[in-house]
Structure 1
Amino acid sequence: MNAELVVDAGRRLEVIVTTVSSDAHTWNLVYLQLLLEELGCRVTNLGACTPDETILRECRLRRPDLLVVSSVNGHGGQEGLRLIEALRDRPELVATPVVIGGKLDVVGGGAGSTAAALLAAGFDAVFDDGAGLTSFRSFVRALPARAGAAIGAP
């Protein structure tokens, strides 16, 4: 078993996994939850078609170490912009690490410009459909170190 990602004495990395409000897919969320749990994270899965306000409420209540937004239907880029704007407008959530990934546009071939727009809007990282999971795993593993905490079992 992998060492748990610990952010401070005895507390595992808290992650919220969700999708955008128009995306009814759940298999991607289950996969991400299992992957993050394998990395030692404690995961709250908000499920499919999650309204922005629900995501914001859960982030205010849970204060996650990471919010992961996944999209399969191709509307992640458009709806992700709306979500990150709402999240970054709240002072208590402005520093929350937020990533988005999956199929981010319906046009195809626009991954570079979509990713650039999402990063400029406030996402900490963008993982497009064809990138694989290596960079996502590396990002998650680096979170405790960025917070000045150690990685290891509590």
Structure 2
Amino acid sequence: MASDSHTWNLVFLQLLLEELGHRVTNLGACVPDELLVSECRRIEPDLIVLSSVNGHGYHDGLRVIGALRACPELARTPTVIGGKLGIAGSGDPDRQRSLLAAGYDGVFEEGRSVADFRSFVGALPATGGRVLPATAGRALPASAASGVLL
């Protein structure tokens, strides 16, 4: 997200998703909202994953999901958010309800099990969405199940 300059969380998520058989386009840190939306429109991913570790994920996430859901072609794309979403600690049920009501399909706040995220991803249909190779520059197998934008 635009305010989050951390990258290790994105690398971890990319590796996890690739391990699960998905192609990943990792846009990196500090991605402006407009760039995120334009890349999602261009790539047409099967899943959008937003991650934050700076504690501003909740506020950034509310802004970003509004922009994504305002695009007709992205309105139904599964989109999740996770990480450190607030500075007052994790586990705020009001924060989770608010993000879900705003349009997220899943909220995986710090402290929640990676198994929950794996289960969510595993339940998604593999549609073979159009994707770009991961930003690390290595080619991904053509047999990868779907495209995830990170």
Once the two structures are aligned, what percentage of the paired residues are identical? 62
What TM-score, normalized by structure 2, do the two folds share?
0.82
What TM-score, normalized by structure 1, do the two folds share?
0.80
Kindly tell me: are residues 34 and 57 of structure 1, through their superposed partners in 2, closer, same or farther at Cα, counting changes over 3 Å? same
Which ranges of 4 or more aligned residues in structure 1 deviate by more than 6 Å? none
| RMSD (Å), alpha carbons | 1.7
Q: CA deviation at 1:92?
A: 1.1
Q: CA deviation at 1:49?
A: 0.5
Residue 53 in structure 1 maps to residue 14 in structure 2: no
Counterpart AA for 1:114 = R
Do 2:22 and 2:144's aligned partners in 1 also have CA atoms closer than 8 Å?
no
CA distance in 2, matches of 1:130, 1:109: 7
Higher relative contact order (CA 8 A, sep 6+): 2
In the alignment, structure 2 segments of 5+ residues that lack a partner are 128-142, 146-150
Q: How does 1:60-71 map to 2 (within 5 A)?
A: 60-71=41-52
In the alignment, structure 1 segments of 5+ residues that lack a partner are 1-19
Do 2:91 and 2:109's aligned partners in 1 also have CA atoms closer than 8 Å?
no
CA distance in 2, matches of 1:62, 1:134: 27
Determine the structure 1 residue equivalent to 2:102.
121
Number of residues of Structure 1 aligned to a counterpart in Structure 2: 130
Q: CA deviation at 1:106?
A: 1.1
Determine the structure 2 residue equivalent to 1:98.
79
